[in-house]
Structure 1
Amino acid sequence: MRHPLVMGNWKLNGNKNMVNELITGLRNELSSVDGCDVAIAPPFIYLDQAKHQLSGGRIVLGAQNVDINLSGAFTGETSANMLKDIGAKFIIIGHSERRTYHKESDELIAEKFAVVKEAGLVPVLCIGETEAENEAGQTEAVCAKQLDAVLKTMGAKVFENTVIAYEPVWAIGTGKSATPAQAQAVHKFIRDHIAKHDAETAAKVIIQYGGSVNADNAAELFSQPDIDGALVGGASLKADAFAVIVKAAAAAKKAK
């Protein structure tokens, strides 16, 4: 059975004091929770501090982005090997904010996916449609295109030990969320799309939901058969709210 993962994406938030307090709060809140893997992705500048704060605990370190280059004259970039060296495991790639604000293409994101896998890290591949695409009935076509950038260059086996995060762009940071039934339908489509290439890999891949996940909607989302945790934005900045989401995922795992 798949083991759910709840990951907090802190985005462009935090300071040294906040990192200390939030991680201390999370460790206290989650000390007795099992049945769900937990990770956080602070801004790059706080990764080393976070790693030390997490030492000896069950929360795993992640990062919000990565460059396709491993070294060289690429000012301002961070490589997969650097992230591995500092102790990160889960690497978010293809987040809609990167696609939108930094014009990252499906092809570039597939390159990042390959670099992360080559480094022995776990890519968290974000896919999802905009509001206009959703209203035009293009959700499945958009998700398939974003998946195919990886599938057609690397094959389905590359999705072993990988996380996919379905994040409808219209639900990120808006307070809107797909209904559990809507989210489940897309998650099933994603799994079935990979299964056309490799059913065994598709059955094992972790597919998170992201998009205004909070303490109120988490339990019902996680009760769906193909939703394996969440990539959490705003709610991951408060230890108590994030802990409720993690506990809901753990409870859903036991109930499935």
Structure 2
Amino acid sequence: MTVLHARTEPRPLWLGTSWKMTKTLAESRAYVEELGHTVVPEGVQAFLLPPLTSLHVVLDALPTGSPVLVGVQNAHWGPDGPMTGEVSMTQVRDAGAQVVEIGHSERRGLLGETDEMVAAKVAAALDAGLVPVLCVGEPWSVRSAGRADAYVADQVRSALADVDPDDVSRVVVAYEPVWAIGEGGRAAEPADVVGVLDAIRGAVADLAPGVRLRALLYGGSVTTENATDLLDLDLDGLFVGRAAWTAAGFTALLSLGGRAVDRRDELSSTHQPRSR
């Protein structure tokens, strides 16, 4: 007798980068044209978040049919109106964005974004058909006090409070400890990450039982030296800063991502029940 076992569709491994406030139009085009010679490994979902000024240049420079998703680093939660200097989710979607970064610690800490603002942006992004990349993470004072798990779980619950449980599956969460971000950040050890990832999953399970996030990523002082160890954790990819600010750097990380996918496929096939 032959027993058929249904195989779970493999989840893509996400690798993306935010360029923050860097790159002119010419620099953006040169980056993408160089990246255009790279084949994104099968099973890897690449994404780029250029500054808003370069969105159209990046979209135009990508080869036709490119699998790379392109987005923006911020947008307002309101549909329109007197918000000088802001752009709405609908406007960035209309301009070609597919992804929007929300709640980065720099915006929370330096620009005063509250949990309520972050939650409104997540809901607005979903309404506009964008993929929200929700950034969460604790400062060192919280980490050193042993409260990182609870702190980040609360951020997740707050940010997804206005999201229908079924729509939680459309959200990408990027865990980025504040102390690991930026030029002065220090890389987290895998042991620093695992507990918080579990806490995020627990918070999601509380809000939407049986629903998985679209992806759960890690970001913060990611380099080609530590990416492999991080990718071997139980997560869905990496959100990278400076190490991916050159096309060569991003290409190297994509290659590492492809190898991680291969390792996961090998592990999956090893544990796949055999027919009998």
* TM-score, scaled relative to structure 1: 0.94
User: Counterpart in 2 of 1:31?
Assistant: 39
Q: Which of these residues, 173, 196, 212, is aligned with residue 164 of structure 1? A: 173
Q: Distance in 1 between matches of 2:250 and 2:188?
A: 19
Mapping 1:145-224, distance limit 5 Å? 145-173=154-182, 174-202=184-212, 204-224=213-233
Cα separation, partners in 2 of 1:23 and 1:129, compared to 1, 3 Å: same
Partner AA of 1:205 in structure 2? R
Cα separation, partners in 2 of 1:219 and 1:236, compared to 1, 3 Å: same
Cα separation, partners in 2 of 1:249 and 1:185, compared to 1, 3 Å: farther
* Structure 1 residue ranges without an equivalent (≥5): none
Size of the alignment, in residue pairs?
253
Partner AA of 1:111 in structure 2? A
Deviation, structure 1 residue 69: 1.5
Q: Which of these residues, 255, 263, 271, is aligned with residue 247 of structure 1? A: 255
Partner AA of 2:112 in structure 1? K
Partner AA of 2:42 in structure 1? D
Q: Which of these residues, 33, 37, 49, is aligned with residue 41 of structure 1? A: 49
Identity of aligned residues (%): 33
Q: Is the 8 A contact 2:47 2:69 kept in 1?
A: yes
Q: Distance in 1 between matches of 2:157 and 2:202?
A: 13
Q: Distance in 1 between matches of 2:40 and 2:68?
A: 12
Partner AA of 2:197 in structure 1? H
Deviation, structure 1 residue 233: 1.1
Partner AA of 1:165 in structure 2? A
Cα distance per residue 1:184-234 (max 9 Å; x no partner): 2211221122123434313x5311100011111111100112x21111111
Cα separation, partners in 2 of 1:175 and 1:205, compared to 1, 3 Å: same
User: Counterpart in 1 of 2:236?
Assistant: 228
Q: Which of these residues, 77, 88, 94, is aligned with residue 85 of structure 1? A: 94
Deviation, structure 1 residue 155: 4.5
Q: Distance in 1 between matches of 2:85 and 2:30?
A: 28
Q: Distance in 1 between matches of 2:40 and 2:165?
A: 36
Determine which structure has the larger helix proportion and give its number.
Answer: 1
* Structure 2 residue ranges without an equivalent (≥5): 1-9, 265-276
- SS of 1:216's equivalent in the other structure is coil
Deviation, structure 1 residue 48: 1.0
Deviation, structure 1 residue 71: 1.4
Report which structure shows greater RCO (CA 8 Å, sep ≥6): 1
User: Counterpart in 2 of 1:121?
Assistant: 130
Deviation, structure 1 residue 175: 4.3
* TM-score, scaled relative to structure 2: 0.87
